[in-house]
């Protein structure tokens, strides 16, 4: 095997791809060749590193020097300085947003330093298209152990001992789910992977499949042995072409290597895996709808019981787990359930991947032990609020099924139980940080619109009830709300939660309920004062400069795209309403909240 003096690992995940990483990689390869370094420096494309907002990112080993926001124009300098002369290029390194200090090593960057990687253990470290690199990092060792040294019950016991709970939203104990299925008699059983990932803002499953597809295949094959299944499907939304391409290649390679397919590792055990592409409906992530979709029918939920472990795909006993759940299985088998259970809190073991986004400096994927506080995630890892004049307001957890958690819960340890107590849910790990420029009524309206759009229409409470709730929220945002609407919202929410058939309807009112619980005064301000305190709802903004607040800085004047603002030095700004198109750019640019 060829040995190189240095490896430059450039991220090829979707975020970096969108930022031009493929062109940067080609330019790096060409420049390395041009400088006569092709036999000394290897350029490897990896999956997502988690720090997507800084893309394209690259890390150089040995050493771990981390480069961010690379462009093709940076390439000649990078290659000549770092690889030819041994002088790392400071201007391309990460700068701490507040202090502007340069942090050269990846491991010292706060975004990475506070994380503990289990599901994302291989991120940024291997070429997702190379099974050899996965194997070199202990890949398929857990499968070999499960097939040759463990009985199906041993496997189930180890996963039960680990305390692993499903990462797709429900948090159901994984080992218990496998045991139910194992104990259900049946010649034909199935193992499925839920890669539908419908929560707005969540992208951990896509990232795992793009960066480390073999970890999912290995976990699924171990479960297949545990329950006695010989066939499986990965249900992945068609909007994830790179994930599908890499998974397809990984399945082919694993089959070629005798790690998947017939007679795996010569043990006599067979497991075949197929990909099924979904059309991207949120409801198809619900387990019974997902199975109907694979069967070629319209993806609609059905009542449970019977649960899939008894009657699942094609009415056969089936285990369905989420991508991140699957990625945790191999380390549990190798290191043991006790090791995994030693991480996290009493009821929530191991780590959780969060998709950190919104008003935070370091947007990206974060894997931390269960029980890590919101403050650590948002401030230490996320780097806090990007706009100095803005204050933290709330964090939305769990997507459309979740809720928002206000400032007083910043020290909340993130685990399943504690998040529920605060009125949200862990969900799949979506974490949207919001500063005080966010209107909580509008936020609730946004999620209700999503739920309404995605309702499959099968049951009346969800189909009609969410429509009514959305109409009321729209009315309030437009300044036509009445106080009695708040009671009506709560009444409708309780009715939908109680009587909807599936989780979409049962949890859909949560964002409204949590904002009513913590930010009722904002609803009242919209209804009684006809004001949107965050100045988001256009109908409730006057688009007038409050001269008492105006600091005469002229920022709004410079930012207005249609020249509707007049301003002169040492004079307050003025808005000409006949020209104003209500785009809110001036509001975003005024640090003194002087536009009301
Ligand atoms: C409306 C709805 C959408 C869902 N979407 C997803 C999804 O995109 N991915 C996922 O893993 N689970 C999703 N779930 C949860 C699944 O039904 C199921 O509980 C999960 O895939 C089981 O895997 P786990 O035990 O590993 O979490 C959804 C549930 C509901 C009600
Ligand atoms: S709750 Fe909503 S999404 Fe679920 S079955 Fe009923 S209508 Fe469909
Ligand atoms: S940006 Fe704000 S403070 Fe500055 S001139 Fe405009 S209204 Fe006044
Ligand atoms: S809302 Fe937009 S168009 Fe109107 S004054 Fe402000 S920046 Fe100009
Ligand atoms: S895609 Fe490159 S860091 Fe996420």
Task: Give the pLDDT confidence of 263-281 residue by residue, as tens digits.
Answer: 999 999 999 999 999 998 9
Which residue bears the tokens 């202090």?
99
Quick one: tokens of 551? 């600091």
Cα–Cα distance for residue pair 404/409, rounded to 1 Å: 10
Residue 299 CA to ligand 3 center (angstroms) comes to 52
pLDDT the model gives residue 29: 97
Residue 97: pLDDT band by 50, 70, 90 thresholds? confident
Domain that holds residue 19: 6-109
Atom 31 (ligand 1) nearest CA? 503
Query: Which residue among 50, 128, 353 has the greatest number of ligand 5 atoms within 8 angstroms of its CB, and so is best to mutate?
Result: 50
Task: Look at residue 124 and tell me if it is in a domain.
Answer: no
Task: Give the pLDDT confidence of 239-258 residue by residue, as tens digits.
Answer: 999 999 999 999 999 999 99
Residue 385 CA to ligand 3 center (angstroms) comes to 21
Atom 23 (ligand 1) nearest CA? 321
Is residue 306 predicted with pLDDT exceeding 70?
Answer: yes
Average pLDDT value for the chain: 96
pLDDT the model gives residue 3: 85
- For the chain, how many structural domains are there in total? 5
Task: Look at residue 118 and tell me if it is in a domain.
Answer: no
Is residue 502 predicted with pLDDT exceeding 70?
Answer: yes
Task: Give the pLDDT confidence of 309-322 residue by residue, as tens digits.
Answer: 999 999 999 999 99
Task: Look at residue 119 and tell me if it is in a domain.
Answer: no
**Rounded mean pLDDT, 73-93:** 97
Residue 574, SS3 per DSSP: strand
Task: Look at residue 422 and tell me if it is in a domain.
Answer: yes
Quick one: tokens of 329? 């299985």
Q: Is 186 found in the same domain as 310?
A: yes
Is residue 201 predicted with pLDDT exceeding 90?
Answer: no
Of ligand 4's listed atoms, the one at least distance from the Cα of 576 is 5
Is residue 578 predicted with pLDDT exceeding 80?
Answer: yes
Boundary-marking domain end, from 342, 363, 380: 342
Task: Look at residue 116 and tell me if it is in a domain.
Answer: no
Q: Is 247 found in the same domain as 153?
A: yes
Indicate if ligand 4 lies below 6 Å from the C-beta of 586.
yes
CATH number at residue 465: 1.20.1440.230
Contact 46, 11 (CB under 8 A): yes
In this structure, the dihedral spanned by the alpha carbons of residues 223, 229, 230 and 236, taken in order and rounded to 10 degrees, is -60
**Rounded mean pLDDT, 214-220:** 98
Contact 318, 312 (CB under 8 A): yes
Q: Give the single-character DSSP code of 480.
A: -
Q: Is 321 found in the same domain as 181?
A: yes
Task: Look at residue 498 and tell me if it is in a domain.
Answer: yes
What are the angstrom distances between the C-alpha of 74 and each of 48, 58, 92, 95? 21, 12, 8, 17
Q: What sign has the CA pseudo-torsion 253, 259, 260, 263?
A: positive
Ligand that lies nearest to the alpha carbon of residue 596, given by its number in the listed order = 3
Q: What sign has the CA pseudo-torsion 369, 282, 14, 128?
A: positive
Is residue 1 predicted with pLDDT exceeding 70?
Answer: no
Atom 2 (ligand 3) nearest CA? 590
Boundary-marking domain end, from 342, 370, 396: 342
Task: Give the pLDDT confidence of 155-180 residue by residue, as tens digits.
Answer: 999 999 999 999 998 899 999 999 99
Contact 433, 541 (CB under 8 A): no
Atom 8 (ligand 4) nearest CA? 560
DSSP for 505-521, please give it.
Answer: HHHTTHHHHHHHHH-HH
Q: What sign has the CA pseudo-torsion 320, 323, 328, 331?
A: positive
Q: Is 501 found in the same domain as 488?
A: yes
Is residue 14 predicted with pLDDT exceeding 90?
Answer: no
Cα–Cα distance for residue pair 251/437, rounded to 1 Å: 46
Ligand that lies nearest to the alpha carbon of residue 590, given by its number in the listed order = 3
Of ligand 5's listed atoms, the one at least distance from the Cα of 54 is 3
Q: Is 194 found in the same domain as 77?
A: no
Task: Look at residue 376 and tell me if it is in a domain.
Answer: yes
Find residue 193's DSSP bridge partners: 234, 321
Task: Give the pLDDT confidence of 285-294 residue by residue, as tens digits.
Answer: 999 999 999 9
Residue 373 CA to ligand 2 center (angstroms) comes to 34
**Rounded mean pLDDT, 562-591:** 97
| Ligand 5, residues at Cβ distance < 6 Å | 11, 13-16, 48-52, 55, 57
Indicate if ligand 3 lies below 6 Å from the C-beta of 297.
no
Q: What sign has the CA pseudo-torsion 429, 435, 437, 439?
A: positive
Indicate if ligand 1 lies below 6 Å from the C-beta of 285.
yes
Give the sheet arrangement for strand 364-369, strand by strand: 364-369, 351-358, 430-435, 392-397, 403-406
Ligand that lies nearest to the alpha carbon of residue 562, given by its number in the listed order = 4
**Rounded mean pLDDT, 371-394:** 94
pLDDT the model gives residue 99: 86
Residue 98: pLDDT band by 50, 70, 90 thresholds? confident
Contact 64, 17 (CB under 8 A): no
CATH number at residue 338: 3.40.50.11540
Residue 9, SS3 per DSSP: strand
Q: Is 272 found in the same domain as 238?
A: yes
Indicate if ligand 3 lies below 6 Å from the C-beta of 552.
yes
Q: Is 445 found in the same domain as 413?
A: no
Q: Is 320 found in the same domain as 281?
A: yes
Q: Is 546 found in the same domain as 505?
A: no
Task: Look at residue 511 and tell me if it is in a domain.
Answer: yes
């Amino acid at each position: 095997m060829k040995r190189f003096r240095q490896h430059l690992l450039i991220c090829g995940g979707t975020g970096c791809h969108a930022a031009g990483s493929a062109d940067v990689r080609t330019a790096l390869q060409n420049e390395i060749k041009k400088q006569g370094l092709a036999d000394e420096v290897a350029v490897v494309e990896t999956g997502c590193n988690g720090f997507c907002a800084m893309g394209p990112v690259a890390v150089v080993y040995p050493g771990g020097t981390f480069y961010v926001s690379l462009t093709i124009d940076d390439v000649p300098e990078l290659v000549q300085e770092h690889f030819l002369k041994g002088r790392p290029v400071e201007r391309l390194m990460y700068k701490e947003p507040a202090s502007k200090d340069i942090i050269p090593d990846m491991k010292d960057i706060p975004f990475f330093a506070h994380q503990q990687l289990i599901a994302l253990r291989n991120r940024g470290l291997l070429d997702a298209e190379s099974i050899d690199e996965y194997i070199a990092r202990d890949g398929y060792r857990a499968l070999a152990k499960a097939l040759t040294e463990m009985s199906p019950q041993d496997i189930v016991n180890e996963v039960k001992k680990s305390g692993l709970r499903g990462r797709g939203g429900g948090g159901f104990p994984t080992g218990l789910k496998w045991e139910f299925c194992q104990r259900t008699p049946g010649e034909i059983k199935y193992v499925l992977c839920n890669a539908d990932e419908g929560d707005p803002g969540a992208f951990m499953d896509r990232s795992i499949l793009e960066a480390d597809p073999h970890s999912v295949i290995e976990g699924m094959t171990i479960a297949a042995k545990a329950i006695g299944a010989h066939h499986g499907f990965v249900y992945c939304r068609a909007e994830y072409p790179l994930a599908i391409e890499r998974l397809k290649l990984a399945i082919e390679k694993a089959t070629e290597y005798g790690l998947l397919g017939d007679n795996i590792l010569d043990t006599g055990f067979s497991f075949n895996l197929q990909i099924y592409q979904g059309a991207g409906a949120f409801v198809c992530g619900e387990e019974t709808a997902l199975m109907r979709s694979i069967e070629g029918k319209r993806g609609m939920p059905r009542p449970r019981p019977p649960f899939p472990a008894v009657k699942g795909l094609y009415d056969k006993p089936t285990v369905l787990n989420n991508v991140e759940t699957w990625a945790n299985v191999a380390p549990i088998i190798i290191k043991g359930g006790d090791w995994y259970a030693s991480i996290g809190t009493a009821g929530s073991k191991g780590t959780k991947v969060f998709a950190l986004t919104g008003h935070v400096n370091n947007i990206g994927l974060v894997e931390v032990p269960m029980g890590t506080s919101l403050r650590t995630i948002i401030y230490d890892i996320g780097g806090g609020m990007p706009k100095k004049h803005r204050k933290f307001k709330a964090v939305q957890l769990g997507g459309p099924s979740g809720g928002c958690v206000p400032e007083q819960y910043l020290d909340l340890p993130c685990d399943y139980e504690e998040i529920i107590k605060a009125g949200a849910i862990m969900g799949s790990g979506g974490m949207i940080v919001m500063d005080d420029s966010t209107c909580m009524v509008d936020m609730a309206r946004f999620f209700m619109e999503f739920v309404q759009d995605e309702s499959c229409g099968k049951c009346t409470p969800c189909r009609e009830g969410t429509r009514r709730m959305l109409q009321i929220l729209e009315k309030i945002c437009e300044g036509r709300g009445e106080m009695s609407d708040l009671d009506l919202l709560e009444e409708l929410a309780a009715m939908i939660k109680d009587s909807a058939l599936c989780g979409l309807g049962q949890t859909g009112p949560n964002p409204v309920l949590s904002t009513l619980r913590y930010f009722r005064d904002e609803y009242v301000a919209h209804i009684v004062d006809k004001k949107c305190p965050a100045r988001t709802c256009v109908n409730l903004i006057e688009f007038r400069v409050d001269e008492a607040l105006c600091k005469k800085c002229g920022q709004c004047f410079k930012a207005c795209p249609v020249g509707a603002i007049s301003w002169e030095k040492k004079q307050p700004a003025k808005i000409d309403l006949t020209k104003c198109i209500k785009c809110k750019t001036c509001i975003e640019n005024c640090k003194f909240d002087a536009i009301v």
